[in-house]
Amino acid sequence: MTSVIFMGTPDFSVPVLKGLVKHGYVVKAVVTQPDKRVGRKQKITKTPAKLAAEKLNLPVFQPAKLSGSKELDNLIAMHADLIVTAAYGQFLPTKFLKSVKIAAVNVHGSLLPKYRGGAPVQYSLLNDDAETGITIMEMVKKMDAGDIYAQKALKIEPDDTTGSLFTKLAILGRDLLLETLPKIIDGSVRKIPQDPDKVVFSPNISKKQEKITLSMTATEANNLIRALNPDPGAYLMVDGKRLKVWKAKVSKDQTKLEAGSLVSNKNRFAISFANHTILDLLELQPAGKKRMTVKNFLNGQGSKFKPEEKIIDD
């Protein structure tokens, strides 16, 4: 029986954890990020990985910082065969990586060496890529720089968001990991070094990147909306207030109106962007309100705007 220390935090990690247990791997511990306060009421919320681990009756470790912690000493003392990580969210100390008998393996949501870092799925959408994928890789001290065990691509559909891609990639990652682990364990896998000339980084999305600007084309704005759905959400500035946009569609039409102008509010809320492009906003969230359809928005706050009026603040 092969023993595993599993490390993961968001929903992406859950199918991987469940797959390991289902296929007979002995999960000695689940390591995840600490519980956080979420929402206006600041309710303490467990990570998806922790919730899954508790249902599976697995021991959970949640060090705020793994390096130098008592939890790290306990994990090293387990002498597991494998470490498997899937969007854990912290660097792993070298002595921990070297403590396992076979390998430390990461399930990464991109086709490495493209998109090393914390936001590979978001950047695949921001850059309008045709595909993304999963890489099963060897973990080393340097971020996402280890040799590749296996890869599999996934087509990005026009209506995909970060949320929908994470759901698809979690299943793909689970299946590719379970297919690859036996080859890692028996030593038959062929590792492929990453090409350093093709490395692309995907740092975590900053607050500044959440804003939709008028220098963007409609396609670029829509890509940002998709990339930031379901969290944290992209926004426009309207009358000095944030208007979050959760869903939009690029129009085939063009306009001569200045970027940021209302093209139409008759059964649609269409905004002009750079290069004469138009974006139809379909699902919106005014400041302090819940998400709503464009129809409900136009029946309320949106009714005060007039076509050809510039309503977006840059």
Annotated binding site for (6S)-5,6,7,8-tetrahydrofolate: 110-113
Find the helix packing angle between 162-186 and 14-22, rounded to 10°.
30
How far apart (Å, rounded) are the C-alpha atoms in residues 56 and 58?
Answer: 6
Parallel, antiparallel, or unpaired for β 26-31 and 60-61? parallel
Q: H or E element: which one contains 104?
A: strand 103-108
Smallest CA-to-CA distance from 206 within 220, 218, 224, 219 is with 224
Q: In this structure, what are the phi and psi dihedrals at residue 102, rounded to the nearest 5 degrees?
A: -110, -65
Smallest CA-to-CA distance from 206 within 277, 119, 286 is with 119
Name the binding residues: 110-113
Classify 117 as helix, strand or coil.
Answer: coil
